[in-house]
Amino acid sequence: MGSYKRYEEYNQPITDELKQNYSEILKGIGEDVGREGIAKTPERAAKAIQFLTSGYDMNPAEILTSAMFDEEYHDMIVVKNIELYSLCEHHILPFFGKAHVAYIPDGRIVGLSKIPRVVDVFARRLQVQERLTHNILECINDTLQPKGVAVVIEAAHMCMMMRGVEKQNSMTTTSGFRGQFEKIETRSEFMRLIGTDLA
C-alpha cells in the first residue's frame, strides 16, 4: 500500500532558519515543542509563511506582458469578485475579501487570468489594504497604459476581528481610479457593474 507524499519546493536554508525561529516563538508562549500535535508545527509554519509571502519573488509586470495582445477594443473590461488573501504587516494576521478590477484598453488587452494573478502577487506580501489597492492600480496602469484603470477592494481584517476592537462584521473598502475612471459617469458605471454603491 503506497503512502501519500506531497512535493513542494522551498529554500531549505531559509526553511531551517524559520523553523528554528518558530520553535522559539512556541517556547516563548509556553508551548511544549516536543508534544505530538506541535512537533511538526515549526516546519509547517516555516513553509506556510514562505508561500503566503511568495509575492516578493514575482514580477507582476512580467505576468501582464506575457499575455498582452493588440486589439481594437475600447470599452470597459471588468474582472470582479477576485478572491484575495493577504497578511497585515502590523500584526501578521490575515485580511481577506475580494478585488474588483477594470480597465479601458488603448489598443492592447491582456489575458483575463493575468489580472487575478497580479492581485495575488501583491496580496502575497506583507501589506496594508491601502497600498495593496495602489500597487494593483499602478501596475496595470504603467504596464498596459490603458485609457483608464479602476480597483476596488473589500476586505475583512482579522486584526480587527480577533483582537483590538473585536468587531466581527466590519469591512474595509478601498478604491483607486486613473484616467477615464476619474470621470464620475465612468466610475458610476463601474460601480454599478460590480454591484457597489460607492460612487
Active centre residues (catalytic):
88-91, 129, 157, 159
CA distance 132 to 90: 14
Least Cα distance to 86 among 133, 23, 19 occurs for 133
CA distance 118 to 196: 22
CA distance 165 to 167: 6
Least Cα distance to 98 among 184, 178, 175, 177 occurs for 175
Which helix (H) or strand (E) is 26 found in, with range?
A: helix 12-28
Q: Are 132 and 87 in contact (CB under 8 A)?
A: no
